[in-house]
Amino acid sequence: MNTVDGPKVFQRISVLGAGAWGTALALNAARAGRDVVLWGRDSATLETISTTHQLPAYLPGITFDQPLETTTDLTEAADADCILLVAPAQVTASIAETIGLYVRKGTPVVLAAKGLEKGTQRMMSEVLADYLPQAVPAILSGPSFASDVARGLPTAVTIAAPSLPLADKLCASLSSQTFRPYASTDLVGVQLGGALKNILAIACGIVLGKKLGASAHAALMTRGFAEMQRLALKLGARSDTLMGLSGFGDVALSCSNHQSRNFAFGFALGEGQTLSDLMAPGAKLSEGAYSARVACELATRHGIEMPVAQAVADVLEQKCSIDEAVIRLMSRPLRAESEQTIKQN
């Protein structure tokens, strides 16, 4: 296996998860010149990818510019220099546990889910440590839509790893003419930026779907980002990470664009669609719908106020209506905008 001190890139890369994002990342790795194998459970989907070079269910209208090797065999997929684990946050544990017998010690496993685990409040790196302790965790996150990456449109992301040499090597392995990764060692900040912005994207979608206006949208995005920072910093994130691609950059992309599943989910709620329809089997995944309550639990544990996240969680749990949530947010006690202002006085 390649090591950080060995070849300059990880040549054989496995991508676990043949949905939109996993397929897009596999395509990018192939463009970067890597030997790629894409693993999925559904043989019919993999056959479509292999024979038609398309994935119409997830990436409609896109014909892939690179052939992709596919497999349903986890032992084959685990035989790699580097693994990209591209699965929803709530099933990351089960996949990590399943491949645990096959992954070699020291293999970097790059986690691409932007979520927090319900019930345990764990970040994805903590899930990996429990189920794949022999692997080295890394995180890929940032302002990126699967369709853009699949089409080869310019995209920049952050890749965080425990050491800068490993982060640099992962970036070199996945860098292509249209995909620019930036290295980081802030695993906590990169993970929380992605997970928490999903909750804010739902809130912003609700505001615009409810036709509450551009002013309300701007205010909500700003105050929501502030509470994201409060919690993330308390949990050990770095402020520069939160102002970078995997924090502010992802907020800017996801909080006003219908390509964002979380924004589209919130927009549909604001327009009056029912929660049961939006979360029915087969509906598009909204990671923020699962992370909202987890973020509130973490905030309570650490004494952090997150009124926007709390409002989203309460609406999703049908503890209050959207109108009631808006009134509650607008009725909060008046205060200084920043903690620095409070300290100065």
**Cα-flanking dihedrals φ and ψ of residue 43, to 5°?**
-65, -35
- Exposure class string for 78-109: b at 16+ Cβ within 10 A, else e: bbbbbbbbbbbbbebbebbeebeebbeeebbb
Nearest 10 degrees: CA dihedral of 208, 213, 217, 218? Answer: 150
Cβ-Cβ contacts under 8 Å for 298 (sequence gap 6 or more): 116, 121, 231, 235, 304
User: Residue 48: which H helix or E strand, with range?
Assistant: helix 43-52
Report how far residue 124's alpha carbon sits from residue 90's, in angstroms, rounded to the nearest whole number.
9
Which residue from 147, 154, 143 is spatially nearest to 176, judged by alpha carbons? 154
Query: Are the beta carbons of 86 and 19 closer than 8 angstroms?
Result: yes
Report how far residue 259's alpha carbon sits from residue 263's, in angstroms, rounded to the nearest whole number.
8
Q: In terms of C-beta density within 10 A (0-12 exposed, 13-18 middle, 19 or more buried), how is residue 129 classed? A: middle
Bridge partners of residue 110, in order along the sequence? 84, 138
CB atoms within 10 A of CB 17: 24
List 114, 169, 197, 210, catalytic entry: 197
Output the six-digit token pair for 345.
């006085």
From residue 284, give the alpha-carbon distance in Å to each of 208, 221, 280, 309: 19, 23, 9, 21
> Is 197 among the residues known to form the active site?
yes
| Largest distance between two CA atoms of the chain | 67
Q: 333: helix, coil or strand?
A: coil
Query: Are the beta carbons of 308 and 248 closer than 8 angstroms?
Result: no
Report the catalytic residues: 197
